[in-house]
Amino acid sequence: MSLPPNKFREIVFQALFSTGEEEGLVPLLMKERKVTRKAVKQGLERAAAIRAITADLDEVIEKSSASYPIERIQKVELCILRLGAYEILHDEAIPPKVAIDEAVRLTRKFSTREATAFVNAVLDHIYHGGASSPVEEAAESLQASEEAAREGEGSKEH
C-alpha cells in the first residue's frame, strides 16, 4: 500500500520541526503516523534536502513576507513555509497550487486558523514569482498620487 502524499508531508514537516536525534525520531514517527520505517526514512531524506537549502528558502520567504521579518515567524509556520516553498520551487512533480493547499492544511492541523491566511499569502506570493501584492500595488499607487499632488501644489505656488 502506497503512502498518501498528505501523510508523507506530515512526516517531512515533523522531521523539519524536530531538533532531536534521527534514531529516536524514526520509531516515534512510525508509531505516531502509523507508517513504515521506509516511509519515515524517505521523509527524513526530504527534510534533509530542505535543510540543505534553508538559507535560500528563508531568503525567498522573507522577501515574500516583507512586512513580517523571518525572526518573528513562529517555528511551526516557518517549517510549513519552508516545505511549501521547497515544493513550489524545487519539486516539479507537485503542482504549486497543491503545495499551497497542502501547506494551508498542515497549518490548520498543527497551528492556528489565523496562521493559515499568512501561510497562504506568503506561498501564493512565492508562486507568483514575488510579484507585488494588490495591497502593495495600492500603497504604491496612493504614494505616487500623493507625490503628484504635492508637485502640482508646488508648481501652482510659483
Is the pTM higher than 0.85? The answer reads: no
Residue 134: per-residue pLDDT: 43
Round to the nearest angstrom and report the end-to-end CA distance of the chain. Answer: 80
Rounded CA-CA distance 5/28 in Å is 19
Q: Is the separation of the CB atoms in 33 and 8 below 8 Å?
A: no
Question: Which of the following CATH numbers is that of domain 55-127: 3.90.550.10, 3.30.70.2190, 3.40.50.2300, 1.10.940.10?
Answer: 1.10.940.10
Residue 79: per-residue pLDDT: 96
The DSSP-derived string for 48-71 is HHHHHTHHHHHHHHHHHTTTS-GG
Residue 97: per-residue pLDDT: 95
Q: Where are the domains of the chain?
A: 1-52, 55-127, 128-158
Residue 22: per-residue pLDDT: 67
Q: List the chain pLDDT tens, one digit each, 158 residues.
A: 478 888 899 989 998 898 766 667 777 777 788 878 888 888 889 999 999 999 999 999 999 987 788 999 999 999 999 999 999 999 999 999 999 999 999 999 999 988 999 999 999 999 998 644 443 443 444 556 566 666 766 555 55
Per-residue HEC secondary structure of 98-133 comes to HHHHHHHHHHHHHCCHHHHHHHHHHHHHHHCCCCCC
